[in-house]
């Protein structure tokens, strides 16, 4: 399970604590550090190596010990980004406390043209971390650090997402080529796609030109490979449901979700791997992670709602909106569906439905979270036949 990255700051003894921030890049790491008893922080350029960073921290601890200050705690931070969480786990195993910041939550200069360097960024990270450690409100948001097992479990689903996107891209390219020839109705995903291609004719009765046909055949070769890979990934996903007993808590939650009507293996896997394996304090934290929370604008005499934040997990947010529509179809007698119809009304237009389905998605997410965590079945929901 994912571990929270210290969402509540603890009391710090600044005389025995080293506080540092890292600005990560492919070529170098810039390290800003505040040592006990030193009024100004120092900056260092390090190689992109975890062992090198750990060794440098040990040298800093030895330097402080030589000055009569025994270090009992080291706190570091870096932004979540391309490097993922390997460094946070690497340092944590070596006794270093690591907090990973959500980049979009950090304060930035709003001038049209602002200076941006690694030094400016790392100093801002260090100041933000120290403010957060002091307990100042709304300084930044910390990202939960997922375990390596949780990250591994997510790869299969995300690979399927990439593959389905590639499948769609190939089909669109084939349709585009045929559209330039005035040909419509070709179904690239049918099993007889190659036989279809041989029988295609242009509006004047001529066959598909040789080079265009060769291009389409190469695209079909790529499509065959992508479809085979999708089949392999989906087989591994569905194997979880065929086991006699779940191997871990995540698999148990997946099996529980698929017992509800309207939820299949794909939605269940996404919900569990992307959200429910994490620890959330309350429903607000869950809604904020998905990006389904509201963003009010209230300044002076102007008050309005700007819509959902969209600052969370985009995969989960899109899936929940889609699942909300499916819930209305397959769970019409549930309390959530009845609530939706009452709010929309008999004459509710498309715009009203699109707005309210987002609210339904948020409520449904919380209901499913309580279902897998506490076993509370959503009111009025029906289960699939055994």
Is residue 346 in some structural domain? yes
Is residue 368 in some structural domain? yes
Which pLDDT value is given to residue 303? 82
Q: Do 357 and 340 form a contact (C-beta atoms < 8 A)?
A: yes
Q: Do 63 and 7 form a contact (C-beta atoms < 8 A)?
A: no
The model's pLDDT over 305-348, given as tens digits with 9 standing for 90+, comes to 787 777 788 899 999 999 999 999 999 999 999 999 998 886 66
Residues 351 and 366 in one domain: yes
Residues 142 and 184 in one domain: no
The model's pLDDT over 206-254, given as tens digits with 9 standing for 90+, comes to 999 999 999 999 999 999 999 999 999 999 999 999 988 888 999 999 9
**Residue that finishes a domain, picked among 112, 127, 146:** 146
125 Cβ partners below 8 Å, 6+ apart?
21, 22, 23, 32, 77, 78, 79, 101, 106
Residues 134 and 163 in one domain: no
Is residue 1 in some structural domain? no
Residues 220 and 288 in one domain: no
Of 81-90, 212-221, 273-282, the one with minimum mean pLDDT is 273-282
Is residue 386 in some structural domain? no
Is residue 8 in some structural domain? no
Is residue 33 in some structural domain? yes
Residues 219 and 305 in one domain: no
How many residues are listed for the chain in this entry?
386
Beta strands (DSSP E) in the chain are 17-24, 29-34, 42-46, 73-79, 97-101, 142-143, 294-299, 302-308
CA 148 vs CA 1, 42, 86, 236: distances in Å: 9, 32, 8, 19
Both tokens assigned to 174: 């084939």
Is residue 9 in some structural domain? no
Write the burial class of residue 216 (CB in 10 Å: 0-12 exposed, 13-18 middle, 19+ buried).
Answer: buried
Q: Domain range for residue 50?
A: 17-146
Q: Do 101 and 81 form a contact (C-beta atoms < 8 A)?
A: no
- Main-chain phi, psi angles of 51, to 5 degrees: -65, -40
Which pLDDT value is given to residue 6? 44
Buried b / exposed e over 50-88, threshold 16 CB at 10 Å, is: beebbebbeebbeebeeeebebeebbbbbbbeebebebb
Of 1-15, 54-68, 265-279, 280-294, the one with minimum mean pLDDT is 1-15
User: With 60 as the cut, is the pLDDT of residue 89 above it?
Assistant: yes
- Main-chain phi, psi angles of 145, to 5 degrees: -90, 110
Both tokens assigned to 381: 């929901």
Which pLDDT value is given to residue 5? 42
Of 52-66, 108-122, 172-186, the one with minimum mean pLDDT is 108-122
Residues 77 and 59 in one domain: yes
CA 112 vs CA 117, 118, 125: distances in Å: 16, 19, 21
159 Cβ partners below 8 Å, 6+ apart?
229, 233
CA 346 vs CA 329, 330, 338, 349: distances in Å: 16, 19, 12, 9
Query: How many folded domains does the chain comprise?
Result: 3
- CATH number at 103 reads 3.30.420
Instruction: Measure CA 357 to chain center.
Output: 21
Q: Do 30 and 43 form a contact (C-beta atoms < 8 A)?
A: yes
212 Cβ partners below 8 Å, 6+ apart?
177, 181
Of 271, 272, 256, the residue nearest 384 (C-alpha)? 256
CA 66 vs CA 63, 69, 363: distances in Å: 5, 7, 57
Residue 60 pLDDT class (50, 70, 90 cuts): very high
Give me the chain's average pLDDT, please. Answer: 91
Both tokens assigned to 356: 């309210």
Residues 34 and 77 in one domain: yes
Residues 167 and 136 in one domain: no
User: With 70 as the cut, is the pLDDT of residue 105 above it?
Assistant: yes
- Main-chain phi, psi angles of 278, to 5 degrees: -85, 165
**Residue that finishes a domain, picked among 203, 221, 242:** 242
**Residue that finishes a domain, picked among 211, 242, 273:** 242
- Main-chain phi, psi angles of 50, to 5 degrees: -65, -40
How much is the CA Rg of the chain, to the nearest whole Å? 27
Residue 8 pLDDT class (50, 70, 90 cuts): low
């Amino acid at each position: 399970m994912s571990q929270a990255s210290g969402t509540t700051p603890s009391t710090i003894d600044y005389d025995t604590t080293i506080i540092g921030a890292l600005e990560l890049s492919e070529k170098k790491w810039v390290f800003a550090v505040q040592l006990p008893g030193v009024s100004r922080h120092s900056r260092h350029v390090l190689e992109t190596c975890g062992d090198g960073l750990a060794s440098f921290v040990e040298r800093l601890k030895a330097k402080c010990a030589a000055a009569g200050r025994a270090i009992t705690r080291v706190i570091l931070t870096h932004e979540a980004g391309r490097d993922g969480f390997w460094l946070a786990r690497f340092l944590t195993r070596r006794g270093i406390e690591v907090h990973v910041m959500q980049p979009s939550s950090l304060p930035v200069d709003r001038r049209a043209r602002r200076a941006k360097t690694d030094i400016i960024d790392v100093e801002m990270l260090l100041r933000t971390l120290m403010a957060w450690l002091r307990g100042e409100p709304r300084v930044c948001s910390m990202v939960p650090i997922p375990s390596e097992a949780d990250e591994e479990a997510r790869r299969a689903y995300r690979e399927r997402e990439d593959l389905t996107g590639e499948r769609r891209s190939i089909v669109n390219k084939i349709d585009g080529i045929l559209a330039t020839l005035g040909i419509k109705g070709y179904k690239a995903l049918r099993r007889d796609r190659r036989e279809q291609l041989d029988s295609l004719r242009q509006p004047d009765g001529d066959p598909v030109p040789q080079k265009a046909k060769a291009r389409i055949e190469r695209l079909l070769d790529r499509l065959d490979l992508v479809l085979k890979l999708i089949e392999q990934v989906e087989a591994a996903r569905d194997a979880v449901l065929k086991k006699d007993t779940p191997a871990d808590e995540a698999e148990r939650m997946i099996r529980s979700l698929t017992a509800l009507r309207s939820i299949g293996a794909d939605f269940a896997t996404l919900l569990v791997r992307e959200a429910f394996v994490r620890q959330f304090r309350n429903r607000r934290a869950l809604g904020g992670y998905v990006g389904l929370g509201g963003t009010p604008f209230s300044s002076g005499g102007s008050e309005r709602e700007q819509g959902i934040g969209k600052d969370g997990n985009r995969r989960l947010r899109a899936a929940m909106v889609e699942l909300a529509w499916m819930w209305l179809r397959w769970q019409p007698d549930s309390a959530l569906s009845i609530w939706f119809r009452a709010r929309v009304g008999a004459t509710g237009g498309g715009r009203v439905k699109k707005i309210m389905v987002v609210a339904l998605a948020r409520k449904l997410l919380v209901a499913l979270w309580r279902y897998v965590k506490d076993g509370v079945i959503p009111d009025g929901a029906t289960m699939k036949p055994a």
